[in-house]
Amino acid sequence: MIAINRVSARSVIEYVGALHGLDYAVMAGAARAVRVTRPRQVAMYCARTLCPHVSTPMLGRLLGDRDHTTILHGIRKIERLLPLDEEVREEVARVVAHFRLSSTEPRDLMLSAQIDAASKHLETLISEARSRVDLARLTA
């Protein structure tokens, strides 16, 4: 199997929540208190940064079936705060550094399996094409 070094969006959400003493259920819940919404928005921004393979609709599903426009709003909110708020900037840097430097975090296993299957399929197609070329050479 091909080794994939992609971070799962859920692990980013869980890590940001843990930094604030919130579990995944709270991060994905309906709470609108600032003590929950700000970490949730940071998680949205960090997940989008660290997991470019995850779409905003998928992030919305991971965060309690939120609409993709809600995810975009959260990402843009943090983008606006980054140059203005030192605390937010440090938190984002900490989360990004944690995942970029860590080799023990859970990886996207579904993506790894899909790439493995695609690689095997491609190898089969190449082998069949080589066989046809060899056969054509023999008959020519």
> What tens digit of pLDDT does each residue of 12-71 get?
999 999 999 999 999 999 999 999 999 999 999 999 999 888 999 999 999 999 999 999
Q: Could you tell me what percent of the chain has a pLDDT over 90?
A: 61
Q: Are residues 84 and 37 in the same domain?
A: yes
Q: Are residues 28 and 95 in the same domain?
A: yes
Domain count, the chain: 2
Is residue 105 scored above 80 in pLDDT?
Answer: no
Q: Label residue 6 left, alpha or beta by phi (over 0 means left) and psi (-120 to 50 means alpha).
A: beta
Q: Are residues 70 and 81 in the same domain?
A: yes
pLDDT band for 1, please (50, 70, 90 cuts): very low
What's the rounded mean pLDDT across residues 100-111? Answer: 61
Q: Are residues 113 and 54 in the same domain?
A: no
Q: Give the structural domain span for 116.
A: 109-140
Alpha carbon distance 22, 9 (integer Å): 16
